[in-house]
Amino acid sequence: MKVAVVKTTPETIFFDVERVMDLADYKKTLPPADDLVLKLNLSWTKFYPACSTSVWVLDGALRALFGCGHSKDRMLVVENRTVVTDPKEGSRLNKWDSVLGKYGLSFTSLADVEWVSVRPKRDLIIFQDMFEEVRIPRLLIGKNILHLPTVKTHGHSVMTGSIKNAFGAFMTEVRHKAHSKIHEVLVDLLIIQDEFCEGTFSVTDGTVLGDGAGPRTMIWKDGNILMASSDMVASDAIQTWIMFHMDPFELAFLKKAHDLGLGVADPDQIEIVGDFTSVGALPFFDMKAKRSPVISWDRTLRGSFLRDLLFETSLFQLCIWASEIYHDVFWYNLLGKSRVKEFLKSRWGQLYERF
């Protein structure tokens, strides 16, 4: 299996996005004659570096796609709502709208489309026990999907990348309930995606990295790389290595996905192409996954009657309120706003300002 990894800069980003896609043979997975869904990543309604799909990677991917013959009439750009994010407002604040308008596209919130019940032929690990039925957006069935995740840490899953980007595609806004069994659910999502969609491809944005207590309250730092692959498992395995120098099999969802034949997580079986010649030659960013107080509290309550009381009753509105107060009011104003201000002085920040 092949994973392309290239170096990039704000000055060469559009060329480099197309280059990394070409190196990973995206045209074989996403032929122009087929319908295509671009699944963006929105971890916060607010703009924050490395938190959500960057406007420059979105622009670069669309340039490549339209350049090889894709049509806007067969393309959808989507993201879903969570209990604490507004995808339409997030599209505006992350400047996706400005890029989509340039290509004659519009943003579609998966909260506004039809969801249908499906019956996977393959046994799922936990999904049906947790949610009783499998419901997915009808518009994803039979489509090719291009995932555009970022390189960042996550308090529940340790890292978030290509595989977890399906979290917002095939689950409704109650997907926070899956955090207690996140690794099993991520494998189930791979099974669902493999059965009900056609080709899948990811372009992982490592231009700016999110370190620490992800996926929102992070410390940003320059990464200056891009990754691409048609194997979500292989992509995340390599991402895990460059983030932590961790054996990918130490992450339960990667080991299980590999064992079930859903992709390749063994670095010895992955071909690295692009600006690096081997896994050993890849950059190491020395990242460390931490947990915000909100996620720590969630993990502490896992399996207790109190968690069921708060998450399964009307009291859950208090949890939503507490999360919004902590992230959007307390943390953002105390730390986040100054970090964004500092980011806007950087070369990537100046590129963001130009959109």
pLDDT in tens, the chain (355 residues): 999 999 999 999 999 999 999 999 999 999 999 999 999 999 999 999 999 999 999 999 999 999 999 999 999 999 999 878 999 999 999 999 999 999 999 999 999 999 999 999 999 999 988 888 899 999 999 999 999 999 999 998 999 999 999 988 998 766 667 777 899 999 999 999 999 999 999 999 999 999 999 999 999 999 999 999 999 999 999 999 999 999 999 999 999 999 999 999 999 999 999 999 999 999 999 999 998 877 775 666 555 655 555 566 565 667 778 889 999 999 999 999 999 999 999 999 999 999 9
Could you give the dihedral angle defined by the CA atoms of residues 215, 221, 226 and 232, in that order, rounded to the nearest 10 degrees? -20
Tokens describing residue 123: 């046994």
Helix (H, G, I), strand (E, B) or coil at 272: strand
Report d(CA 147, CA 58) in Å as an integer.
10
**CATH of the structural domain 2-291, one choice from 3.40.50, 3.30.420, 2.30.30, 1.10.3470:** 3.40.50
DSSP-assigned states of every residue in 250-266: GSHHHHHHHHTTSS---
Q: What Å distances lie between residue 291 and 127, 161, 217, CA to CA?
A: 25, 17, 9
Q: Find, among 69, 73, 64, the residue nearest to 201 by Cα.
A: 64
Torsion-angle region of 69 (φ positive above 0: left; ψ -120 to 50: alpha; else: beta): left
pLDDT in tens, 108-134: 999 999 999 999 999 999 998 888 889
